[in-house]
Amino acid sequence: MPFAAARGVGALTGRKGRQAGLWRQGSCQDAIHLRGLEFFAYHGVLAEEKALGQRFIIDLDLFLSLARAGVSDCVEDTVNYAEVYAAVRDCVLNKPANLLEHLAEQIASAVLEGFDCQAVRVEVHKPQAPIPAVFADVSVEIWRERE
């Protein structure tokens, strides 16, 4: 069963979709992970969230072959982490969204359009979400692939 389907998210379809199920099984793709990218931004449904802002934390996985870079030791043969960070920062700071789902889509689109990777996993954390309860974190996770 593909990983996406097993996780309860929309199953990826087609030839690439079948490969998507292999990413987490370790037989198909390499990955670059960026964890804990933290920003203060103004996303949310409530007017207070848009006015006061809050902390957002982004985790990314970029799926691509790292074989060439592993042999050449040249940054030109991989994805530049600093450039990925800048693209994420632009989305989080300059493209206000009501929903975490929309922000995650914006980030996924920017990464797939701007970098040579086959797929991306984006997780957007909102640790201070306005929920009247005690909780550690709220997050949204999406998986998208190049069409």
Pick the closest to residue 24 from 39, 12, 36 (CA basis): 12
Q: Which of 16, 50, 95, 126 is catalytic?
A: 126
Q: How far is CA 21 from the centre of its chain?
A: 17
Name residue, tokens 């449904």.
Answer: 45
Instruction: Answer yes or no: 126 catalytic.
Output: yes
Relative to beta strand 119-125, strand 54-64 is: antiparallel
Q: How far apart are CA 143 and CA 29, in angstroms?
A: 14
Active site residues: 126
